[in-house]
């Protein structure tokens, strides 16, 4: 078996596709059989079953490629003798001999020979040959400069680099660097031999990236594949919720359920005491919002006024109202300077803290029962504008986008990174929408019950990997965001659970509020119940009385 | 109690008698003649004729034909358990509907009809006249007091 098949087309190496390396710069597609080198290789059809040995249970890993990657890994770990031994024992060379010659020439600085060898490797893409030659000659140029052989450098630039006719801006930079050495990048001023060698290694790495992967296997390819597999395992793990989970190579990663909050640490007001009673609203309070600096609170009465309170003293700082109209929702701008409020004439108003109204967006912008959210960059205002649509209004660009559903929307929740929106629907579904560039429906979550009330849901857990929601059947539902699977349905409350809030800094803590007049704090089973301050930013809404 | 999710309708609205929650729009009514069919002749009947008519109506098993509106859609309601009911027009599978605000029963919804001629009712709602306030705020109890005795028996 010849074993030297470095001119094979790069096929899919494993069932995990490697997107960046399918590109063949020598121009051939995956389906064509490859042009052999000048040596005595036969052109092989790609999908040949006989003659191509495969390893692994699925039969997708080619033995030759597998061995070459392992050899490469051994060399990069420093086990030169093991690598050489592997090549010898398997009869599969890591690189063809011409590539070995090429690499040696580059490392030793035989620039002209290396350029000549480059042409002999058998690449069909002119551009690759030129780019690689350019890199080699550039190195030659810089080394001349370092040795103060300016005339030689100039000669290289004129007669060898320029005729390539590529990368003209770089050529200009090179000519500039003759005049002012500090101008060029990266700073190549090696005075000792050792530093020069290092930059030659770097050159080799650059060349590796340029040449097709079958010709020269990229550095750290095996490590990359393993990391990819671990990443996929982690994403598939439904219960992954801890910072310090170590992923071992010896077994597939799978967390146990115990990292999801499932145990009621606190029920009711044990350890939480009443600090202030904020009186002043004449109507029931429909929403509460903490200021970005956590020192103030905004509250909104049902079609009434919006009040701003100081959280430490309990004093009402201002009242925001509009003659003849009532407010329906409230929110802060992320810098804490402005207040936004939905009005029951379907418009949205913006106020300065002192009560002066700055702007008003009229038209069908909000409904009487609507949430109001502002993204943390202050740019977008999000509100339910019609029964089945959510408006995303960009304040600066004056652009409006709409999320259209085919069912009535009851509430929504914005993720902390402003990329996702969780929409609660009348028909007991929760839809996850991506709102970054295009508005796209990503997943649906089902299982909880909703018939009469506004039930709220939220993101939570490590990297917001989970979605939690209240439900009218007294359970707290937790789904894995990526897979959509229901992870937990926590019993404990004796009334409809109206809203949930996952601690933004502690992925193991969740709070839920229920019609049984209790708030439950959920945590991990094995931790002792600590008295923690509930970070106020989590709970935004209250349902019901003053 | 949690915060009720209530849809606010615009236009001429039928609302719940007790809590004034919006239930449907005037425009959602499928056929008004449906309800008025027998009513108009009533006014020309003698008292005896009227009594006979009322007893005829009582025989109409579970039929609130005269005292109900057939609607395309209804909002702010929850549904109960499925039931098979024999109506004047045949066997139907219905679910009772309740107002989300106060929980009182306001009518029913046809889930499926067993007779071909009644298939048009599937997915439609019936709102009982005596449970709703009309768009002008009128309560049907006042307008049709002649029929009150008849309807009480039906409601029992």
Indicate whether A524 pLDDT > 70: yes
Structural domains in chain A (count): 2
Q: Which of B2, B6, B78 sits opposite A543 (nearest CB)?
A: B2
Q: Is residue B15 within 8 Å of B74, Cβ to Cβ?
A: no
Around A332, how many Cα atoms within 13 Å sit in the side-chain half-sphere?
Answer: 23
Compute the average pLDDT of residues A377-400. 91
A345 and A481 share a domain?
yes
Residue A245 binned pLDDT confidence (cut-offs 50, 70, 90): low
Residue A533 binned pLDDT confidence (cut-offs 50, 70, 90): very low
pLDDT of residue A531: 33
- How many helical (H) and strand (E) elements, i.e. helices and strands, does chain B have? 5, 8
Residue A273 binned pLDDT confidence (cut-offs 50, 70, 90): confident
Please tell me the distance from the alpha carbon of residue A517 to that of residue B2, in angstroms, as a whole number. Answer: 10
Q: Is residue A214 within 8 Å of A7, Cβ to Cβ?
A: yes
pLDDT of residue B150: 33
A415 and A330 share a domain?
yes
Indicate whether A539 pLDDT > 60: no
Cα end-to-end distance, chain A, whole Å:
84
Indicate whether A448 pLDDT > 90: yes
Please tell me the distance from the alpha carbon of residue A504 to that of residue A524, in angstroms, as a whole number. Answer: 16
| Domain at B51, CATH number | 2.170.150.20
| Domain at A513, CATH number | 2.130.10.10
Please tell me the distance from the alpha carbon of residue A46 to that of residue A62, in angstroms, as a whole number. Answer: 12
Quick one: A119 exposed, middle or buried, by C-beta within 10 A (0-12, 13-18, 19+)? exposed
Indicate whether A231 pLDDT > 90: no
Residue A45 binned pLDDT confidence (cut-offs 50, 70, 90): very low
Q: How many CB atoms lie within 10 A of CB A274?
A: 6
Per DSSP, the residues of B4-15 read B--PPP-SSEEE
Please tell me the distance from the alpha carbon of residue B75 to that of residue B68, in angstroms, as a whole number. Answer: 17
pLDDT of residue A119: 83
Chain B residues near residue A328 by CB distance under 8 angstroms = none
Q: For A169, phi and psi rounded to 5 degrees?
A: -65, -35
For residue B78, the distance in angstroms to the closest alpha carbon of chain A comes to 6
State whether the Cα torsion B33-B34-B37-B40 is positive or negative: negative
A407 and A518 share a domain?
yes
Percent helix, strand and coil across chain B, each to the nearest 5:
35, 35, 35
Interchain proximity B5–A453, CB inside 8 Å: yes
Q: Is residue A43 part of a domain?
A: no
Q: Is residue B41 part of a domain?
A: yes
pLDDT along chain B (156 residues), means of 10: 88 90 88 44 66 63 61 92 86 92 92 88 88 74 37 36
pLDDT of residue B38: 42
B2 in contact with chain A, both atoms CB, cutoff 8 A: yes
Q: Is residue B64 part of a domain?
A: yes
How many contacts (CB atoms, under 8 Å) link A and B? Answer: 39
pLDDT of residue A308: 92
Interchain proximity A454–B100, CB inside 8 Å: no
pLDDT of residue A430: 95
Indicate whether A424 pLDDT > 70: yes
Compute the average pLDDT of residues A469-493. 92
Q: Is residue B141 part of a domain?
A: no
Q: How many CB atoms lie within 10 A of CB B138?
A: 10
Question: Residue A176 belongs to what H/E stretch?
Answer: helix A168-179
Compute the average pLDDT of residues A276-286. 87
A210 and A299 share a domain?
no
For residue B103, the distance in angstroms to the closest alpha carbon of chain A comes to 10
ipTM: 0.70
Q: Identify the CA nearest to A327 among candidates A345, A339, A311, A343.
A: A343
Structural domains in chain B (count): 1
pLDDT of residue A443: 93
Which of A178-192, A328-342, A407-421, A436-450 is predicted with the least confidence, judged by mean pLDDT? A178-192
Q: Is residue A310 part of a domain?
A: yes
Chain B residues near residue A286 by CB distance under 8 angstroms = 3
pLDDT higher at A52 or A423:
A423
Of the ranges A32-41, A144-153, A425-434, the best mean pLDDT one: A425-434
Residue B92, strand partner residues: B85, B113
Which of A471-475, A496-500, B53-57 is predicted with the least confidence, judged by mean pLDDT? B53-57
Q: Is residue A89 part of a domain?
A: no
Which alpha helices (DSSP H) does A370-432 contain, by range?
Answer: none
Instruction: Provide the residue range defining the domain that includes B65.
Output: 13-133
Chain B residues near residue A451 by CB distance under 8 angstroms = 78, 100
Q: Which of A367, A410, A515 sits opposite B1 (nearest CB)?
A: A515
For residue B100, the distance in angstroms to the closest alpha carbon of chain A comes to 6
Interchain proximity B4–A454, CB inside 8 Å: yes
Residue A32 binned pLDDT confidence (cut-offs 50, 70, 90): very low
pLDDT of residue A307: 92
Q: Is residue A514 part of a domain?
A: yes
Q: Is residue A138 within 8 Å of A174, Cβ to Cβ?
A: yes
A428 and A514 share a domain?
yes
Interchain proximity A451–B78, CB inside 8 Å: yes
A149 and A298 share a domain?
no
Q: Is residue B124 part of a domain?
A: yes
Which of B4, B5, B6, B16 would best serve as a mutation to test chain A binding (most A beta carbons within 10 A)? B5
A157 and A293 share a domain?
no
A426 and A297 share a domain?
yes
Please tell me the distance from the alpha carbon of residue A453 to that of residue A496, in angstroms, as a whole number. Answer: 9
Compute the average pLDDT of residues A20-26. 39
B6 in contact with chain A, both atoms CB, cutoff 8 A: yes
Interchain proximity B2–A387, CB inside 8 Å: no
Which of A302, A345, A364, A452 would best serve as a mutation to test chain B binding (most B beta carbons within 10 A)? A452
pTM of the model: 0.67
pLDDT of residue B45: 65
Q: Is residue A224 part of a domain?
A: no
For residue B4, the distance in angstroms to the closest alpha carbon of chain A comes to 4
Residues 82-121 of B with CB under 8 A from A: 100
A311 and A205 share a domain?
no
Q: Identify the CA nearest to A37 among candidates A149, A100, A139, A123.
A: A123
Interchain proximity B2–A408, CB inside 8 Å: no
Q: Is residue A366 part of a domain?
A: yes
Mean pLDDT of chain A: 79
pLDDT of residue B139: 60
State whether the Cα torsion A129-A135-A137-A140 is positive or negative: negative
Compute the average pLDDT of residues A483-506. 90
A205 and A302 share a domain?
no
Which of A102-116, A359-373, A377-391, B23-37 is predicted with the least confidence, judged by mean pLDDT? B23-37
Coil, strand, or helix at residue A286? strand
Compute the average pLDDT of residues A177-195. 53
Interchain proximity B2–A451, CB inside 8 Å: no
Q: How many CB atoms lie within 10 A of CB A165?
A: 9
Chain B residues near residue A426 by CB distance under 8 angstroms = 5
A423 in contact with chain B, both atoms CB, cutoff 8 A: no
A177 and A297 share a domain?
no
Q: Is residue B29 part of a domain?
A: yes
Q: What Cα–Cα distance (Å) separates residue A166 from each residue in A128, A161, A169, A170?
A: 11, 9, 9, 9
Interchain proximity A544–B5, CB inside 8 Å: no
Of the ranges A104-113, A190-199, A427-436, A504-513, the best mean pLDDT one: A427-436
pLDDT of residue A161: 81
Instruction: Provide the residue range defining the domain that includes A129.
Output: 97-182+196-216
Q: Is residue A112 part of a domain?
A: yes
State whether the Cα torsion B133-B139-B144-B148 is positive or negative: positive
Q: Is residue A352 within 8 Å of A358, Cβ to Cβ?
A: yes
Residue A442 binned pLDDT confidence (cut-offs 50, 70, 90): very high
A208 and A315 share a domain?
no
Q: Is residue A153 part of a domain?
A: yes
């Amino acid at each position: 078996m010849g074993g030297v098949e470095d001119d094979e087309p790069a096929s899919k190496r494993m069932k995990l596709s490697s997107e960046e390396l399918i590109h063949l710069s020598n121009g051939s597609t995956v389906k064509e059989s490859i042009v052999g080198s000048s040596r005595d290789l036969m052109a092989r059809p790609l999908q040949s079953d006989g003659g191509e040995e495969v390893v692994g249970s699925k039969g997708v890993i080619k033995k030759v490629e597998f061995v070459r990657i392992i050899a490469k890994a051994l060399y990069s770990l420093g086990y030169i003798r093991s690598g050489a031994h592997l090549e010898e024992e398997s009869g599969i060379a890591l690189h063809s001999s011409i590539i070995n010659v090429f690499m040696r020439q580059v490392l030793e600085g035989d620039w002209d020979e290396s350029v000549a060898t480059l042409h002999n490797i058998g690449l069909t893409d002119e551009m690759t040959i030129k780019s690689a030659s350019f890199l080699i000659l550039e190195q030659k140029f810089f080394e001349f400069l370092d040795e103060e052989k300016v005339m030689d450098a100039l000669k290289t630039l004129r007669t060898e680099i320029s005729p390539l006719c590529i990368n003209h801006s770089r050529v200009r930079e090179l000519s500039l660097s003759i005049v002012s050495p500090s101008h060029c990048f990266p700073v190549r001023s090696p005075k000792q031999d050792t530093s020069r060698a290092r930059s030659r290694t770097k050159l080799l790495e650059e060349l590796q990236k340029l040449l097709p992967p079958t010709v020269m296997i990229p550095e750290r390819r095996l490590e990359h594949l393993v990391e990819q597999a671990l990443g996929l395992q982690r994403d598939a793990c439904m219960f992954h919720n801890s910072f310090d989970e170590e992923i071992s190579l010896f077994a597939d990663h799978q967390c146990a359920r115990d990292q999801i909050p499932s145990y009621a640490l606190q029920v009711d007001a044990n350890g939480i005491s009443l600090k202030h009673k904020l009186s002043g609203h004449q109507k029931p309070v429909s929403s509460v919002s903490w200021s970005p600096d956590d020192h103030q609170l905004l509250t909104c009465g049902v079609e009434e006024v919006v009040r701003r309170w100081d959280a430490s003293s309990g004093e009402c700082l201002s009242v925001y109202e509009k003659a003849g109209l009532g407010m329906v929702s409230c929110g802060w701008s992320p810098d804490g300077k402005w207040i936004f409020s939905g009005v029951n004439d379907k418009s949205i108003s913006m106020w300065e803290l002192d009560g002066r109204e700055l702007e008003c967006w009229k038209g069908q912008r909000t409904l009487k029962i609507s949430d109001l959210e502002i993204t943390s960059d202050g740019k977008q205002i999000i509100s339910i504008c019609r029964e089945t649509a959510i408006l995303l209004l960009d304040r600066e660009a004056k652009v409006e986008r709409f999320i259209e559903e085919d069912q009535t929307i009851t509430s929504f929740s914005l993720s902390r990174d402003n990329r996702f929106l969780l929409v609660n629907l009348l028909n007991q579904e929760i839809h996850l929408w991506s709102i970054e560039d295009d508005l796209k429906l990503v997943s649906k979550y089902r299982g909880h019950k909703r018939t009469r009330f506004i039930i709220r849901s939220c993101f939570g857990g490590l990297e917001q990997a989970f979605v939690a929601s209240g439900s009218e059947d007294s359970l707290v539902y937790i789904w894995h965001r990526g897979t959509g699977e229901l992870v937990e349905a926590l019993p404990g409350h004796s009334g409809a659970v109206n809203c949930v809030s996952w601690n933004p800094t502690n992925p193991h803590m969740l709070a839920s509020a229920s019609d049984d007049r209790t708030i439950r704090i959920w945590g991990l089973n094995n931790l002792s119940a600590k008295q923690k301050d509930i970070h106020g930013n989590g709970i935004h809404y209250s349902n019901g009385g003053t | 109690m949690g915060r009720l999710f209530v849809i606010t309708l615009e236009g001429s609205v039928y609302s719940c008698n007790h809590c004034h929650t919006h239930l449907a729009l005037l425009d959602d009514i499928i056929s008004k003649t449906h309800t008025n069919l027998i009513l108009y002749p009533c006014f020309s009947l003698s008292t005896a004729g009227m009594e006979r008519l009322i007893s005829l109506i009582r025989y109409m098993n579970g039929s609130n034909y005269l005292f109900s509106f057939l609607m395309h859609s209804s909002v702010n309601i929850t549904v109960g358990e499925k039931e098979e009911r024999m109506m004047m027009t045949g066997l139907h599978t219905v679910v009772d509907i309740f107002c989300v605000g106060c929980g009182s029963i306001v009518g029913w919804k046809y889930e499926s009809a067993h007779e071909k001629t009644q298939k048009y009712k599937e997915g439609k709602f019936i709102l009982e006249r005596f449970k709703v306030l009309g768009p002008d705020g009128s309560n049907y109890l006042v307008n049709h007091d002649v029929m009150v005795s008849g309807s009480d028996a039906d409601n029992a």
